[in-house]
Structure 1
Amino acid sequence: MTDTENKSEKYNKLDLWDTKTILDTILESQLNAIASIKLISDELELTVTKAVPLLEAGGRLIFAGAGTSGRIAAQECAELYPTFSWPKNKAHFLLAGGQKAFSEAIENAEDNIAQGEHDAEKLKPTAKDIFICCAASGRTPYTLGVMRTANLSGSLTIGISSVAQSPLLNEAKIKLNAKTGAEVIAGSTRMKAGTAQKVILNMLTTSIMIRLNRTYDSYMIDLVATNEKLNSRAIKIVAGICNVTTESAKESLVICKGKVKLACVYLKYKDLKTAEEILLEHAGNLRKCLE
C-alpha cells in the first residue's frame, strides 16, 4: 500500500476516543499536512516562474484529477474567472467521470487511462499549456493518461501527490510531493492529502495571477462583479486605491462598465480612451499605469 493508504498505529482504537481528542487529533493532522508544503517551496517557486511566460504567450491552465483530487482541482479552475477575470477559454479542468462526478462517485472512471488520454487530446494541448495533475496516491490511471498526453504535446506538466516516487511524480516535469503520510482514517485522502492539494493550488494560482498583473497591492483588481456584494467590493477597491469617495468610485465604474482596473486609470487621466490605451501599453500593470 502507498503512504496515503497505510494505517497508522498513532490512531489505534480511534472510535473509542472521546470527541474532543478526536477533533484535536484531526486538527493536528491538518496542520501537519499544511506544514509539509514548506518543504517544496523551491518547486512551487519554479512552477510559478515557468508558468507565467507560457501564459503570457497564450497558454492555458489545465487541471486534472479523479475523485476528491479532481473536485478540488475543478474548484480551483472555476474560481479563476470571477476572482481574476482569467479568460474562461484559458482555464479547463478534466475530471474522471465528467460533470456527474462532482456530486457522486462514478464507478471505475478513475481506472480508465485511455479516457484520460482521450479527454486531454480533445483540448489539443500545446507546448504553451500547463497541466496541473492531482492524485494523492500518484497512481490514478485517468490522471496518468492526462499527463502522458500532455507530456507528448510538450506541455509543462506539474504533478501533485503525497507519495514520492509515484508514477505521476516520476512522469511530471515538476514534482510537488507534499509528504502528508497516513490519514487519521486510513486511506481517506480527502483529509490531509486533500488539504495539502487545496493549499498548493491556492498558492500556485494566486501567485501566478499576481505575476500576471491581476492584483494591485493586495486588491483583486480584476474581479468580475456579478452581485451586490461584489459590486460593493469593487467600489471599495477603487476608492481605496485612488483615494476618492465611494460616489466617485461608483461613477467611474459605471463609465468603465464595472472594470476595476480601468476605473482606477480613468480616475487618474479623466478620459476613457486614454485610460484604455495606457492600460494596454503597460500590459495591464496597474502600478505602472498609476505611476
Structure 2
Amino acid sequence: MTGPSLQDDPRPTEAFDARHTDLDRLSPLALVQTFADDQLQALQAVQAAVPSLTAAVEAARGRLEQGGRLIYAGAGTSGRLGMLDATELTPTFSWPPERAVPLLAGGLRAMREAVEGAEDDADAGAGDVCAAQVGPGDVLIAVAASGTTPYVLGAAAQARAAGALTVGLSNNPGTPLLSAVDCPVLLDTGPEVISGSTRLKAGTAQKIALNILSSALMVGLGKVYGNLMVDLRASNAKLEARALRLVQHATGAPLPDAQAALHAAGGRVKTAIVMLRLNIEAADAEARLARSGGHARATLGETEQAPDRTPPG
C-alpha cells in the first residue's frame, strides 16, 4: 500500500511539474534560465490580480486615514515577506512602526529557523491577533501560498470577528483563506520548478503584491508627491543625500536654499518643498500640510485629478 502522491494534492502550488523532471541534470546556464523563465509567471499572476488588489486598496484606505493600522499575518516565507513589508514602510514613508504590525507564526525566532508546528496552530494565530488588540479601524493582510495554513486562517477569522478589514493573499484558487476574508486576492502561480517550494514564484508574486498594496496605500495617504518619496526617513548619509536631491528636484531651488529649508524643516522633505514653493516658514508649512491631511499636492493647490492611464498591451 502506497501513500498519497504529489498528484493527489489539489493545490496547484503543491503539484508536480512534469516539465522539470531533469532539473538536477541541467547545465548552470540552463538551470538559471529555467528559474528565470518560471519567475515570469509570478508577474503574470499579479497582473491578473490587479482588480482584486485595487478593491483591497480602496477598502483599506479609509481605515488608515482614520488612524488604523496595517497588520500582517503569515507563516514561513509568507510571514517573513509580511515582516519585510511592514519593516520597510518606516524608512520609505515615515509610517509609524506601531502602525505596521507583523504577526509571524512562531514569533521572531521563525525569521531564521523553522518553529515546529507553529503554522499548524489556528489558536495561536487568533491569540496573536488578540494580543495585538486588532479592532475595527485596522486592516489585516493574511498571506498564505497554500491558502490553508491554520495559523493564518485563525488570525483572519479573529481579525474579521473583531471588525477589522481582512485581505487575503493565496496562490491557490478556491482555498479557505480566499473565502474567509473581505478582500480575496488570488495569485495563481501554479506548480513550482522545485515541487512544493513556494519560496520561489509563489513568494515572488506575494512580494510584488505586498509592495503594490502598501505602496498604493501610502501614495493615497499623501506619502508621495508626484512620484517623489517625500516622506522618507533620512536615517543615514545615503538617505540624507536623497532627501536633498528630492527637495531640489521638486522645487528647482539651488543647493544652499534646499539645504537651508531642509534644515529648518527638521529633515522633513515634504515640509521643505512646501516652504520653498510657497516661500513660507517651516511652522506655516507644517500647519498647511496638517490642514490638507499631509498631501503636498493639495497644500500647493494642485488638486486637478490626473486621468486614468490605459493599461499597457
Interval containing the TM-score (normalised by the shorter chain) = over 0.9
Equivalence map 1:1-291=2 (5 Å): 1=9, 2-267=11-276, 268-291=278-301
- Structure 2 distance, partners of 1:101, 1:220, is 32
Q: Structure 1: 5+ residue runs without aligned partners?
A: none
CA shift digits 1:94-135 (9 cap, x unpaired)? 001101111111111111111111000011121221100111
State the shift of 1:270 in Å: 2.8
CA shift digits 1:21-50 (9 cap, x unpaired)? 111111111011211111111111111111
**Which is bigger in relative contact order (C-alpha 8 A, separation at least 6)?**
1
Q: Secondary structure at the match of 2:260?
A: helix
- Structure 1 distance, partners of 2:219, 2:194, is 37
Q: Secondary structure at the match of 1:164?
A: coil
- Structure 2 distance, partners of 1:89, 1:101, is 20
Partner of 2:310: none
- Structure 2 distance, partners of 1:226, 1:40, is 35
Amino acid at match of 2:113: E
- Structure 1 distance, partners of 2:255, 2:173, is 52
CA shift digits 1:225-282 (9 cap, x unpaired)? 0110000000000011011012211111111110111111122233222112111111
Taking structure 1 as the reference length, what is the TM-score of the superposition?
Answer: 0.98
- Structure 2 distance, partners of 1:48, 1:217, is 19
Q: Secondary structure at the match of 1:37?
A: helix
Amino acid at match of 2:146: S
Taking structure 2 as the reference length, what is the TM-score of the superposition?
Answer: 0.91
- Structure 2 distance, partners of 1:241, 1:284, is 16
RMSD: 1.0
Amino acid at match of 2:300: L
- Structure 2 distance, partners of 1:113, 1:290, is 49
Q: Secondary structure at the match of 2:12?
A: coil
Q: Secondary structure at the match of 2:193?
A: coil
Q: Structure 2: 5+ residue runs without aligned partners?
A: 1-8, 302-313
Q: Secondary structure at the match of 1:49?
A: helix
- Structure 2 distance, partners of 1:97, 1:211, is 33
Does the 8 A contact of 1:51 with 1:130 survive in 2? yes
Percent identity for Structure 1 against Structure 2: 40
Q: Secondary structure at the match of 1:27?
A: helix
- Structure 2 distance, partners of 1:33, 1:276, is 42
Q: Secondary structure at the match of 2:42?
A: helix
- Structure 2 distance, partners of 1:249, 1:85, is 20
Amino acid at match of 1:13: D
Task: After the TM superposition, list the runs of 4 or more consecutive aligned residues in structure 1 that deviate by more than 6 angstroms.
Answer: none
Does the 8 A contact of 1:269 with 1:275 survive in 2? no
Amino acid at match of 2:18: E
CA shift digits 1:42-99 (9 cap, x unpaired)? 1111111111111111111001100000001100000111100111221100001101
| Number of residue pairs matched by the alignment | 291
